[in-house]
Structure formats: structure tokens, C-alpha cells
Amino acid sequence: MEEERPSGLVGKLLGGVNSSMRKLLFTFMSSGPIPQHMAFIMDGNRRFAKKWKLEEGAGHKAGFLALMSVLKYCYEVGVKYVTVYAFSLDNFNRRPDEVQYVMDIMHEKIEGFLKEMDMVNRYGVRVLFIGDLNRLDESVRVAAEKAMEATAKNTKTYLLVCVAYTSSHEIPRAIYEACQEKQGGLAVGSHIGDSINSNNNGIVNVDDDDVLNDVIKVVDLEKHMYMGVVPDPDILVRSSGETRLSNFLLWQTTNCLLYSPKALWPEMGFWQVVWGILKYQKNYYYLEKKKKQA
């Protein structure tokens, strides 16, 4: 026991030094524009496990720890909204046992997140699950609803978790609901998990052609988007050096900075967040010019 105390004291001292240096750097960075919203495609959990010859699921566990660190750094530097791509709607086309495995991991991680309430409340995080939640296992959906309810009063920062989500589902769903609203058949702010009336190609069936005749505007669509509850992302980060968007936030990233660090998702941390924001600051005026021209 006597030998553990110095190491614990040294750990606390080093942690304090790191925290002070981090705050100093973030203060310096805050002299420039800070992105309001950062979105992440969490790519590389499995490759991380394979790279280090870890057991199945170890990569996702490491990825959860990386998420906690990334959230902390984003909120400390002043980012208000963080969105993560947790599970694509297209992933339901995988083998049933593989889908169930991911559902089990997702349930475990949501429960794990609820155990991090000290950090959640410290940064005032409100959690929102975005997507067709009806497609989730009941246990996962209940856990997601529990997390949203537990953080509903927080308004300082936001974490949006996209599950059972793709843009090719979100966009036609928004068109359908906008048309239904114009016809008086749908109230604004319908349940976030409602499905749309479309065929397998995502083509929406609308009964009244007049609704589409210069009546449905961009603003009508955007208020029915799953992601319409927050501003569009300023930065979209995909780990592992990949540059594909993978059907994620296609509508919302028109004038967004794309950043692809080579680190696998479990390797993401402080410096990846810092470099992403510095890249945003370097390109800020160009991005703002493009937004005004849109």
C-alpha cells in the first residue's frame, strides 16, 4: 500500500499538469473561431482489435473510451454539438447474428454511458438518439429512451447519436412528412422514430401532386429532418483516413469541412480534435464565403 501512494500522487500531479496545459491551449485556440458542431464517423474499431490481436468486441470497448475522451475535449474547447454515427440503417442488411452482436454492444455502451453521469452533468450534456428507432431491438430502444430522459434537462451541450440512420432514409422521409403537413395530415414535430411511406428505392408516394408544385420549400424539408433539431455540422471527421461519407449527413454537410485523420477510432483523442479545429480555423473564411453563396 505504501508503494501505491506515490504513484497515485504522481498520477494526480501529471493529470493536473495535463489539464492545465490543455486549458491553456484551448484558451489560445478560442481566440479564433470555434466550430459549433462537430460530427464523427467512428471508423476502425474492428481494425484496431485486429491490429493489436484483441478478442472480439475489444475494439468497440476501446472505441467507447475514445468517444468519452473526444466528447470531453470537444466540450472543453467550446464545441456545443457533437454528432456520432453509431449504426447505419444499411447495416441491418448484414447477417442476423452480426446485427444482433452490434445491438448487444450498443445496449452495453448506452448502459455504460448512463454510468458516466458525473461527466455528463459536468458538461451539461443532453443526449438525443437520431434515426428510425423502431428498427432497434426493444432493449436498445428502451435504453436510448432512458438516456434521453435522464439528460432531458441539460442544455449546455448536446450529443446526437445516429442509429438506424442513413441520409437516403432521412431525406425522403422529410419530403413525405412535409407533404403530409401541407395536406393537413401531420403535425410538426412527429415522433423521431416514425417511418415513411416509400418503396424500396426510397421514392415517396404522395397523393396530391399540387403539394409539390412550388409549395414545398427547403425550410419545410429541413424542419422535418431527423437532424433538424441542431445546426448543420461545421466539421465532419472520419477516422482511419477514410474519405467516404457512407450515407451520413449528406444534406447537412454541403459547406462542411471534411477531416480524415489516419488514426483508427480507438486511437482518436486530444490531438485529433485539436488538429481538426485548427484546420477549421484555417479554412473558416473560405467556408463562410461558400455558405453565403449557397
Which residues are the active-site residues? 43
Compute how many other C-beta atoms are within 10 angstroms of the C-beta atom of residue 166. Answer: 21
The CA distance from 165 to 249, in Å, is 9
Nearest Cα neighbor of 165 from 249, 276, 66, 237 is: 249
Cβ proximity of 114 and 128 under 8 Å? no
The CA distance from 102 to 89, in Å, is 12
- Torsion of the alpha carbons at 200, 206, 212 and 215, rounded to the nearest 10: -120
Map grid coordinates 432493449 to a residue: 139
Cβ proximity of 161 and 222 under 8 Å? no
Q: Residue 97 burial (CB < 10 Å; 0-12/13-18/19+)?
A: exposed
The CA distance from 175 to 153, in Å, is 31
What's the start-to-end Cα distance of the chain, in Å?
64
Compute how many other C-beta atoms are within 10 angstroms of the C-beta atom of residue 112. Answer: 13
The CA distance from 39 to 160, in Å, is 9
Label residues 24-47 b or e (16+ Cβ within 10 Å = b): eebeebeeebbbebbbbbbbbbbe
